[in-house]
Amino acid sequence: RREIQIAVDTRPVSPTDPNPDRLAAEVTEQRATIYLRAPDAFPPHGVLHELLHIHRFWVDGIPQVLPVHDPDGERLQVTGSIENALEHQIIVPREAEYGFEPYSYWNETERRLWGQYPWPAITNQWARRKNSLLGWLTVSRLVSDDQVKAQAADCLKKEGLFDEAQRFATRIAGVIESKPRSISATLRFLKIPIQDVRLVRFNVLTEQRDFIPIPEH
């Protein structure tokens, strides 16, 4: 019996964002908001995508990973990237059940993203590796265009990460139905200490956060 709020996202868009018109959702144990890019921009496909995110967290009770300490907000960006990469594995194929073709969006988005390689603005090696592994997870499952897949694979080979990215995608495919196990595997591949994050379920009925144990690697 809760409303989902709608608001316009006034945050500036990164110049390297491959899809600056995308919608976003913010979900807590008390409220959920879908952010539009403009007051008159209400694309049904994009709205459905965000509703599926909210359904996962509120109705299905799927937990999400959050940083324990995050004084400057950078760690939340990292866990947010992990969340999107994992949740999209489940959500995007479901869009077809509602009459939408789910893969064209990702073909074009990933074409633009990997077309920016060698990513001169990203100088931190850990960040490059994280983006490479999570990026290939998206390409391996959500991209149907063979040219885009080949482009991403070529970039990863230049980074020296293609074999590891493949192992990561294979491992996640085997545990994707279990969010705790998916998070555990992702932390191991990304070399994030398990004590730096927590797995949180937003219990909208009690307005409380339930903490879920993360399995050991």
- 61-78 per-position pLDDT tens digit: 999 999 999 999 899 999
**Is beta strand 32-36 parallel, antiparallel or unpaired with respect to 5-8?**
parallel
Asked whether the bond before 118 is cis by omega within 30 degrees of 0, the reply is yes
Average pLDDT over every residue of 174-182 = 98
Residue pair 144/107 in contact by the 8 Å Cβ criterion: yes
In the prediction, which pLDDT does 202 show?
97
Cross-strand bridge partners of residue 147:
none
185, amino acid identity: A
Residue 216's pLDDT band, with cuts at 50, 70 and 90, is: confident
d(CA 79, CA 215): 17
Cα distances (angstroms) measured from residue 81 to each of 98, 121, 187: 25, 18, 12
d(CA 80, CA 16): 17
In the prediction, which pLDDT does 20 show?
85
Query: What does the chain come to in residues?
Result: 217
Residue 11's pLDDT band, with cuts at 50, 70 and 90, is: confident
In the prediction, which pLDDT does 121 show?
93
In the prediction, which pLDDT does 76 show?
96
Supply the pTM of this predicted model. Answer: 0.95
127, amino acid identity: A
Q: Which residue has the higher pLDDT, 32 or 217?
A: 32
Average pLDDT over every residue of 9-32 = 90
Mean pLDDT value across the chain: 96
Residue 168's pLDDT band, with cuts at 50, 70 and 90, is: very high
In the prediction, which pLDDT does 12 show?
86
In the prediction, which pLDDT does 111 show?
97
- 146-162 per-position pLDDT tens digit: 999 999 999 999 999 99
| Cα angle 110, 4, 181; round to 5 | 55
d(CA 130, CA 140): 15
